[in-house]
Amino acid sequence: MLSPLEIKKIGSRSKPAGTLLYAVLCVFILLCAVSTLGQGPANTAVDGFYPQTLEEQLQKIVESSAEEVDPLRKTCAAILDDLKTTVVRLENNPAEPCPELQRLVESVKTLEMFRESWTTTVSVEQPYVPSAVALEEISLAVKRRIFVWRGLFTAAAAAGTPVTTLYGKSLDDIERLRERTLAVEQYFTRSRRSAEYKAGLTWREYLETQSWLAELEACRQPDDQQIRLVSLSAPLFPVEILTMLSHRANTTVHRLESPTLTNEQRAFLDHPTVSTWKEELQSWTADIVTPIHILRLLDQHEATGGMSDMKALSQFIDQLSTSKTPEYRQLGDNVRRQYGMANVRLFLSCALLSNHLPPAVSEIAAFREVIQSQPTVGRRQTETELAVSFMPHPTRVLTSLDIGVDLATVSRSDAFATSLFNTGRTLIIAKKTIELTEQGFLTEPCEARIVGHQMRLVRMDTDFDRLPILSGLFRDVVRGQYESRFPGANTETQRKILRQVRSQIDRETEQRLQPINDQIRTLSQYADAEFGLQVEQRESRTDENWLLTAWGIRGKGTLSSSTPAPETRPGTFADLKIHESLPNVMIGKLGLEGKRDTIGGFKAMLAEKFQMPDLAAPEENDELEVTFASHNPLVVRFVDNRIELTISIASLRLTRRTHRDFQVIVRYKPGYDSEGRLVLERDGYISLPNVVREQVIMRAAFGKIFPVSRPFPLVPKVLETDPQFDYLTTGHCRIEKGWFALALIEKLD
């Protein structure tokens, strides 16, 4: 029988560690403070599956009459035509070759050549001229679709058993599957021995047998609700039920055949009860993948960025990953990676860390030791200098704390009738390696070596110094003994010095890092409990001057980044980049879909959730009652050097009138206040695209919630209050391709 610990490894997922989560949450909380309600893009679902946003971007270039766009127009028109043809081909003949894909690849190369040499300044005036960032976004969007379409064409050509094979299933089949599932459930819980019982519960959780039984029991009950049936002549089971059961069967069989299972675990699953259940499940497995459906979900997600569409795409990717056809499974894994890249990236310069190391320290202290069995007392003066260096590594974040120690000693050792006075000086170079991981900061034992050591006898006192004849003889004897024992004493002294230096460096390093690691764990537990976030380290790299650490932070059933982050500019000490998927996931965890409350009530909820009591400060319009939409109620987008916040509202009572089904879009852009500090300021008017009546009143109401007069600082208070940061400020704010990037730079006088 497997132990619970061994079984827990099955299908395990990395627990949230939150190494950079504190910085991420602080930035996101700042965004939340921008809006007392929430944020987001357009929240209405896209009706078609065609890449609507991409089509609009290409069409604007094709229709532009600007002379600067002339070289681009033909390429964009060709891309547009090939996109349309590819979608139609995938819908009608997915198993046939698609020459348009190769043409799209060549067109993208041409587009990238334009982008690299594109120097046209964007103008807000007509005719439209795209920016270099806009061209890059188009190129990336086409590349993502080529990537997905190739997988779809390959999988469609190799598709296995279709869901139509399940149309003959009857209530007898449901009953047989339920009985065999119940047998497995009883097999897992048959033992009353503690260890085996816990192991069985773990297997039951892994294979979800209880959930299986609940759904099969529901299928046995008659339902009067009108559902589209498989056939009017043979109304057996609704298509929705067959598809759901098939998807579950695919998932369970996939887990039973997981390549990560050990030989012992496979042997446990070879029991006749489990094998019979598996055979029955295999009769329910089928391909339930509709290629056009993934295109629709993908384009909805990219068009809106909201949590509702993100979850729908994530669920379909799960469905792909457990398909009956290996090619669909591979496609699901590939799409998950494409839309699951790191959404938090941090660049940190060695110069920044070096600037904030403690200054050289000089310390005087008494000591007592036993050297060569002789008690020794004295005083030592220790001067310590610190330096930090990065240890180049392609996959790890490694830093080295380099310590130089200059140890000067004055000592006295007493033996029979003699006191020996020594001076010594020891130069030591020590190195402490520190690594940033998902678990926090990990250290290796200190390495130290002596690069210089001197010890000299400066004085000798004996009890016979007043006896001229005996004094000389005695001193000669003592000096001879001293010289004979000197090499051993010298070696023992160096060994003890090294041991003490290593021990002290290890101890002090751990003492300094422990509060940081404790804070990381506390923040990780908070993020897990409040938002269900999981943290996975996606990329780590160190060179002589920079370290990069990249993390994927997401919740269950969500996605993260699919675009590259903005480049770090010269003159940067540190650069934090956050993808819009992170705030959207956190917003989604607030559970605002269809929720009704006053604006003041929502502010209080946010204040408690983010532990920011200032958010709940009373303001005008707090008494307004609002009901959020059930689809993408709040979303945040980082586009076109703007933070775009959209609130989708189902109903709002204002001035004796109830306004229904509308959106509020607020945009913020980077700017500077009167003191030259970087801030986020509201950009233009509040947009109410779905509101026809009482626009002025509505704008006034939301203008008080998002006032122009209240910009939000992007300079942390610590940079203004701590003297050691006097030379630093924030700058190089970039908002593009779904990323918000903010750097630490040198403050100009």
Look at the block and give the residue holding tokens 């938090």: 344
Rounded distance, CA 90 to CA 98, Å? 8
- The residues that bridge with 345 in the sheet, in sequence order, are 550, 577
177 and 153 co-located in one domain = no
What's the structural domain count of the chain?
4
- Does 29 fall in a domain? no
704 and 620 co-located in one domain = yes
Supply angle C-alpha 548, 549, 553, rounded to 5. 150
- Does 644 fall in a domain? yes
509 and 404 co-located in one domain = yes
180 and 97 co-located in one domain = no
- 644: Cβ contacts below 8 Å, ≥ 6 apart: 39, 41, 636, 637, 638, 665, 666, 667
Q: What are phi and psi of 111, to 5 degrees?
A: -60, -40
Residues in the chain: 749
Token pair of 364, please? 């005087």
Look at the block and give the residue holding tokens 């970039």: 734
118 and 179 co-located in one domain = no
Structural Rg of the chain based on CA atoms: 35
Q: Which of 474, 492, 513 is the last residue of a domain?
A: 513
Rounded distance, CA 415 to CA 371, Å? 12
372 and 498 co-located in one domain = yes
- Does 14 fall in a domain? no
**Residue ranges with strand state E in 391-530:** 397-415, 418-437, 440-443, 447-462
Q: Which of 513, 528, 549 is the last residue of a domain?
A: 513
Tell me how many helices (H) and strands (E) the chain has: 21, 19
647 and 668 co-located in one domain = yes
How many CB atoms lie under 10 A from the CB of residue 256?
18
pLDDT of residue 94: 73
- Does 245 fall in a domain? yes
Task: Give Cα separations from 609 to 25, 29, 451, 714 (angstroms).
Answer: 12, 10, 55, 22
Contact 711, 673 (CB under 8 A): yes
- 205: Cβ contacts below 8 Å, ≥ 6 apart: none
614 and 652 co-located in one domain = yes
Contact 425, 406 (CB under 8 A): yes
Containing structural domain, residue 420: 357-513
- Does 32 fall in a domain? no
Rounded distance, CA 166 to CA 175, Å? 15
- Does 195 fall in a domain? yes
88 and 169 co-located in one domain = no
Q: Which of 513, 538, 554 is the last residue of a domain?
A: 513
pLDDT of residue 193: 77
124 and 205 co-located in one domain = no
Contact 596, 625 (CB under 8 A): yes
- Does 551 fall in a domain? no
Q: Please state the separation of Cα 399 from the chain's center in Å.
A: 22
* 596-598/572-579 β-pairing: unpaired
- Does 387 fall in a domain? yes
202 and 156 co-located in one domain = no
DSSP 486: H
Give the pLDDT means over successive 10-residue stretches in the chain (749 positions).
36 37 40 34 40 87 89 92 86 78 92 84 70 90 90 80 76 89 90 80 90 86 46 55 86 88 88 92 84 84 91 88 85 90 94 86 90 89 92 93 93 84 93 89 93 90 74 77 86 91 92 87 82 87 93 88 92 95 91 90 85 79 88 93 93 83 93 90 89 80 86 88 89 94 89
150 and 206 co-located in one domain = no
Rounded distance, CA 651 to CA 161, Å? 46
Rounded distance, CA 535 to CA 491, Å? 49
Contact 724, 623 (CB under 8 A): no
